[in-house]
Structure 1
Amino acid sequence: MASYPEVGDLRLVAAIARHGSLGAAARELLVSQPSASQRLAALERRCGARLFDRDNTGARPTAAGQEMVAEAGHILGHLERVFERSRAAAESETITVGTIPSLAMLVFPALHVALPHLRTSQVVDHGPRLVDWVAEGSLDAAFVAIAGQIELPKGVTGQVVGVDRIGVLAPATCDLRSTDRREFAGRTVVTYTTDYSGEELDGRVVALGATPYRAATAETAVRLGRLLGHPVVMPRSLLRSYLADTDRELVTPRFGGPRLSLVARVPTAPYWKDALPVVGREIGLSGVSAHS
């Protein structure tokens, strides 16, 4: 046997067997009957056996033809499912995603909701390192709040998911009742944010007549606030995660908020288009796209 049969050969054999006619098979395959006849003759020469008995009443498979028809159906069936199976494999693949430690408890559960068919290998580290890992290919993506504050590496893009407004957590040990300037004056305020705006946030606290006490992580900020009886100024997504029944959340626009972004290589995987709004809503961000 000189070579393997081509897909067109298999489709022709299957069509002839299905219709019992070379002409009808040619019409189904949108080719001329002479072209179909020539292809069949060439296939029979390469196979070394006659595949169909042909006369005025039609075409009937020989013993060799019956075997060829069965094999053709089997092979074409596999080929028809190639794309479907490839898509299914893509949907069940594992992606490696990173974020900073304080956001891990929010980002990874949100990804599970947004991309239920993908398994996420989780990585936590500092934002700049995560961005570098995306650039080198160690990470598929990262969720960080610094994407708009740094120069991203070549071939890497940042896509805003939403804004994480800064709120105020008043623990039971703190008598703060409002975000009025007079309420803040003279107090120590624990601060935490997820981007590089820590100094700016501290400056706004100072402008209210208070003394900022910057914490290293979100959990540290909340624990310090409860221990010392100080209000805590931090992103609301994290604030709500740590909010206890005895705590109070005070909402104010005066502190702004970091922008959480997806950082990924170009071109960005298509599934993020629908996933990002879901991630933003699950985390509780503002300004989230209404898409999906």
Structure 2
Amino acid sequence: MSSSGEFEERSTPATTSASAGERRGEPYGADVKAQLHHRVPDLGALELLLAVARHGSLGAAAREVGITQPAASSRIRSMERQLGVALVDRSPRGSRLTDAGALVTDWARRIVEAAEAFDAGAQALRGRRDSRLRVAASMTIAEYLLPGWLIALRAERPDTAVSLQAGNSAVVAERLLANEADIGFVEGLAVPDGLDGVVVAHDRLAVVAAPTHPWARRRGPLDPAELAATPLVLRERGSGTRQVLDAALSAHGGLAQPLLELASTTAVKAAAVSGAGPAVLSELAIAEELASRRLVAIPVGGVQLRRDLRAVWPAGHRPTGPARDLLSLTRARPTG
């Protein structure tokens, strides 16, 4: 009974510890495995040991792995201390593996081969990821900025196939959150919910009208309240242009019922050029029409129509591969 009682007392802490590990969701023995990297040499040291075995010379092994001979000697000594056995006999005639060193070398070869297989598999995964890039962008960015960015990307990544989906800012956010795009570009006031982002460019909205419209003959700036009260040719709700305009005129009575509500910048521009009514468009989209006098810019006083253009991606998932490279290119080419 006494010996049994002693056995139970000695066993209880181990049983309790294992149960605690299980309660934390850790596999039995996780605490032992967690220390493995402290007891097993790193790949660089194992590759050096294999080179010593091939050449029979510490100096030649050091040259093969690209380090100095003193550094190689230090690394071998460190590995011997870590393992607690002598691995290499050094002499004026060269370096020879001890019996323990030969055994460790066999194990090292298997580890290095497994690491090489792991690396090859990881490269294959990266290659598959890097073979395509899915971009979603709001209409203005898709039409007037992305073509230049994608041409620059193709020069850096000629083998990456790029697909572009254009829509308003709300649609871009939906595609990113549904994993239907790798990176997105939006206009608007803020980063959409569920996404992270960074400003890559700036833009300004302009009030424009055909030369025949009465506003084209105004001598002074348009009052924000008059702009808000006038039915305009506008982009649909959910677009970055509409968000910025809604916010800018909210203190002036809010937007009147639109004269026309269209789903693309090109359609809004065409309606304004035809004389359907005044419109609000990105300055990026109307440079040619202003230069040819098919549209006239109408100054507006007392209201801020500047906006940020952002690259966005799912929160917590910073872009990698081609998406990361595209992001770098956009930030290297600021606009506005």
TM norm structure 1: 0.59
CA distance 1:28–1:241, shift in 2 (3 Å):
farther
What residue number does 1:158 align with? 197
CA contact 1:189–1:213 (8 Å) conserved in 2? yes
2:163 aligns to what? 121
Superposed displacement of residue 277, structure 1: 2.3
Aligned to 1:95: 133
* Cα deviation, residue 109, structure 1: 1.3
1:85-143 CA distance string (max 9 Å, x none): 78995995422221234542124314315644365321223432321332232222221
Paired with 2:147 and 2:161, the residues of 1 have a C-alpha distance of 11
**3-state SS of 1:139 partner:** coil
For 2:79 and 2:59, locate their aligned partners in 1 and report how far apart those are by CA, in whole Å.
9
SS in 2 for 1:32: helix
CA 1:191–1:128: 2 relative to 1, 3 Å? closer
1:25-174 correspondence to structure 2 within 5 Å? 27-29=70-72, 30=74, 31-32=76-77, 35=80, 38-39=86-87, 56-58=92-94, 89=127, 92-113=130-151, 115=153, 116-117=156-157, 119-146=161-188, 148=190, 152-153=193-194, 156-171=195-210
Counterpart check, 1:268 vs 2:318: yes
In the alignment, structure 1 residue 240 sits paired with structure 2 residue 299: no
In 2 relative to 1, CA 190–273 (structure 1 residues): closer, same or farther, beyond 3 Å? closer
The amino acid of 1:142's aligned partner reads G
SS of the aligned residue for 2:259 comes to strand
Q: Deviations over 1:253-291 (max 9, x none)?
A: 645134322221224226376344245x3xx3x3xxxxx
Distance 1:248 1:220, change over 3 A: closer
Counterpart of 2:48? 11
What is the identity, as a one-letter code, of the residue corresponding to 1:132? E
Partner letter of residue 277 of structure 1? R
**Structure 1 unaligned residues grouped into runs of 5+:** 1-5, 42-53, 287-292
Deviation, 1:235, is: 1.4
RMSD between superposed Cα atoms in Å: 5.1
Aligned partners of 2:133 and 2:161 also within 8 Å: yes
Matched, 1:257 2:314: no
* 1:277 matched residue in structure 2: 331
Equivalence for 1:48: none
Distance, in Å, in 2 between the alignment partners of 1:213 and 1:149 is 29
The aligned counterpart of 2:24 is none
TM superposition score normalised by structure 2: 0.53
The 8 Å contact of residues 205 and 306 in structure 2, kept in 1 or not, is answered as yes
Question: Residues 145, 33 of structure 1: CA spacing in aligned structure 2 closer, same or farther, 3 A cutoff?
Answer: closer
The whole-number CA distance in structure 2 between the counterparts of 1:182 and 1:35 is 82
Q: Report the CA distance shift for 1:144/1:103 in structure 2 as closer, same or farther (over 3 A).
A: same
Output the CA distance in 2 between the equivalents of 1:34 and 1:194.
63
* Per-residue deviation, 1:236: 0.8
| Structure 1 stretch displaced more, 184-193 or 114-123 | 184-193
Shift of 1:197: 3.8
Equivalent position amino acid for 1:160 in 2: V
Indicate how the Cα distance of structure 1 residues 139 and 28 shifts in structure 2: closer, same or farther if over 3 A, else same.
Answer: same
Structure having the larger proportion of residues in helix:
2
Q: Deviation of residue 218 (structure 1)?
A: 1.5
Q: Distance in 2 between matches of 1:88 and 1:167?
A: 43
CA distance in 2, matches of 1:32, 1:16: 16
Asked if the contact 1:16–1:22 (Cα under 8 Å) also holds between the matched residues in 2, the reply is no
SS at the partner of 2:313?
strand
Instruction: Assess, with a 3 A threshold, how the Cα gap between structure 1 residues 172 and 226 changes in structure 2: closer, same or farther.
Output: same
Post-superposition CA distance 1:8-56 (Å, at most 9, x none): 4442242465683579857442222993994469xxxxxxxxxxxx974
